[in-house]
Structure formats: structure tokens, C-alpha cells
Structure 1
């Protein structure tokens, strides 16, 4: 057999192997595409920043995984985060997206809130604007805030003339020996808060009725002012005629005393006369 004859079978096997590899690659591509092709709702959420959020990060509802982040892209001064919900998962209209940082080292995730109960749901392709979404406070922001506070209260700030030091010394002197009293006050305040919490329905009902009453007064403002003016007139009349009113009341007291004495002295005769009036009254 010639050299060319020996190469032909090898060439055929190479072609078959290449075709088989191509089929494997195509099948793998289809499998991967199918794995990432979600039939669930897709949403777009905008954030002021999205530190620690990447493609593949969890999308959760009430802490339970309900999808994933598919892409994260900066867009102007905001960050656009594409979300894919699992099939069958619904989110109510008006929902918000929140980036949650469980701890400093734990992976962050996007959480949708509130959970769906009933009513209209977000449609596929809905957009959650940054104005309603929330991001966690970063540790460097917290440190910066503490630094700013310490500077504001330090010798170059509020304590430049020793005012803060004087305040602390005065406060310490006033609170010295009053720890038990302060503790009792805090406990009583806690009890009062617990009582109010247990009576929240009654409290809100009372406030609602008070609002209704104040609204009625507002609507009847003219009538209320008129009644107040008339009451002022009556009070003024009594004030201007105080002496006459006092004399009249004294005379009325004397007359009532005389009537009482007359009734006591003539009780028997009055009873007879009343008894005689009974038949006449019944006849009438």
C-alpha cells in the first residue's frame, strides 16, 4: 500500500473525530443556553451603587432564594442590575429592591420587598427606579461619619472653648447617685410603652375619632365662632350685672325658704287638696 493510501483512512478518522467534537460543542452550548434561559420574570433595578453585587448573586424574597442577578453595568451615575426571577415567582407592583449585607464578610444579595400576596404583579421587563431602592451603608462611610463627628466635637469644633467638657462634668455631677432613679424611670417608661403597644387599636381608634371631631370643628368654624361670641356676650352680661344677679339669687333663696316653710306648715291641708284633685284629674 502506498503512503497516500495509508493516509486516507487517517484523514477520514480525523474528519469523523472533528465532526463528533463539533456535535459535542453544539450540544454543550445548547445545554448551557438552556440552563441560563429562564422563563421567569425579568426585572431591571437601578441603584446609586452596587458594591459586592455580581452576575450570579442571589435574588431573594423574605430571605429565600427566588432568582439571581444576571448582569451588573454602570450607567451614568447609577448602576443597572438585571434580575431574573425563578419561574412562577411573582412580585407585587410597587415592590422595591434592597441590597443586603448580612455581615462584613458574607456575600451580599438583592432582596425584593414586600412579598407577593395578591393583586397586580410586576410584568416582565419592569423597572425598579433607584429612588425607591436601598443600599447598605459602607464601612468606610461609617468610619468617615465617626471621624466627622469626632472632629465636630473635638478641640477644633464644639469643644474649642471647653463647652463640651463643661457639659460632661455638669452632667456627671447631676447624674451622680441617681442611677437607681434613672433605672426606675426607664423601667416605668418601658411598662408605659408596653401598655400603649397592647392598646394600639384603642389608641388609634381614639386618635381617629379625635381627628373626626377636629375636622368637624374645622368645617363648622363659623358656627363655633358665633357660639363663642354669644357665650362671651352672656358672660359679659353676667359680669356687668353681677350685683343685681347676686341680689336676685339672695331673694330667690329667701323665697324658697319661705315656700319650704309654708309646705311644712300646711302639709296636711295640701295633701287633702291634692287628694280632692285626683278624681277631677281622672275625669278630665
Structure 2
């Protein structure tokens, strides 16, 4: 019953719900990026696919951890909650990987990295996706490493992609690392709550299992039986013998005796009925 929940259980459930919330948010953003639903998702899909992959892994771990936490809290299962507390650490590592990768790309010479990526790492299809999404042509200008299309050709009025790509990457990477690092303190708080509250979801102390050193074994039974036998011998009491199995007698004496008493019993019953009615 919810009314019987302890304060530790309420705190643990609130903590698990927060893990579920930011895990679900991260998974939704990752799915929308993989399927290129939002505007300029193609640029993120090409330029920052590793960060999107790390975010997807982090969201998957967070969702799995949150589901285990909800299950363990509702079922009062301490083993499941122990697994939940353990999985919070890989989730933290995956979140730090997303934040560190995006911050490193954002803070350390992003312009030079984009120059290198455009010339050596982006495929022709990736460049074309960036050009169509940002409405640009080539890198510095339409004559510099451009992928020709119906909108990108040598005399097109579209500008080069360097400026727009740099602006987009600066904004998106800044949003990713700042959001991730802002969630990390909350996640650390959830780890502390799980460690403090996972063992107190009920008012029962421990696991309710008799410790091993206090369990009754077959050896203990034999020793107790020997002690009892010695005490009986000292008191002069002989060991009781188990009676042998007996079977019903084949004699008809008892059966005939019951048949002879049937008329008498029936007569007594009739007399008692007459007295009761009178």
C-alpha cells in the first residue's frame, strides 16, 4: 500500500522518476536526430555522429536503470535495487563521455577541426547533406570542394558552408555539453539517494533471513538427539518403543453387537423426539 511507504521509499521513487525523465528526454532527442526529423538534423547526423551515438548509449543505460529502479521500488526487492544502484555508475560514465567529447570539440580550435573534417573525413554524400541543410555551397566558396547539385554550381549565389557550419556547431555543441554537465550533479544526488535508501524500502531489518551461523542443520539435530538420549538414560527412562501396526479384527462379535443395539438406539431417539415436541 502507498500509505504504508516509508520516507526512504518515497525519496527513492522520486529519484528514480528523475532518472527516467532525463533518460527519456535524451532518448527522444537521439531518435529525432537519427531519423533527421528536426531542422538541420542532417548536419548533426554528419558532423557529430559520434556524439549522437554516445548520447543514444547513455539514454539506453539510463532508461534500463530507471526501469529496474521502478520495478525494485514497487516490488520492495533489494537485489533489484542493488542492481539499480550499480548501473547508475555506468550511466554516469556515459553522460561524462557525451559532455567531455562535445566540450572538447567546442572549446579547442573548432574552426581548424571543421577544416580537417570537411577535406578528409566527410564523404561526398555527407557534404551534400550539409549543403542542402544549411543552404550553402562548397566550404569557402562554391569553387572549393563543393558537391554539385541543382542548387550548388559554380555561379550559384549561395555562400560557402564554413561560416554557417561553424555557427551551427558552436551552438549545438555548447547546448549539448552545458545540458549534460548540468544534469551530472542531479545524477550524483540520485546515486547518493540510491545508496542510502535502497536497503530501507520496508521497515524490515536486513533481508529477513536467518544468519548462517544460527541455522539448524542435520548435525545439530543429531547432537541434540544424543544429548536427550543421555539425559533419559541418566533418569532411568527406557527408550519408548513404537507400537506395531495393527489391523481390524475379522471377528463378527463387535459387528453383531452393533446390530443388536440398533433397535434400542432407534427407540431412544423416538422418545427424545416426543419429549421435545410435547
Higher RCO structure, 1 or 2 (CA under 8 Å, sep 6+):
2
Q: After TM superposition, is the score higher than 0.5?
A: no
Relative to the length of structure 1, the TM-score reads 0.20
More strand by share: 1
More helix by share: 2
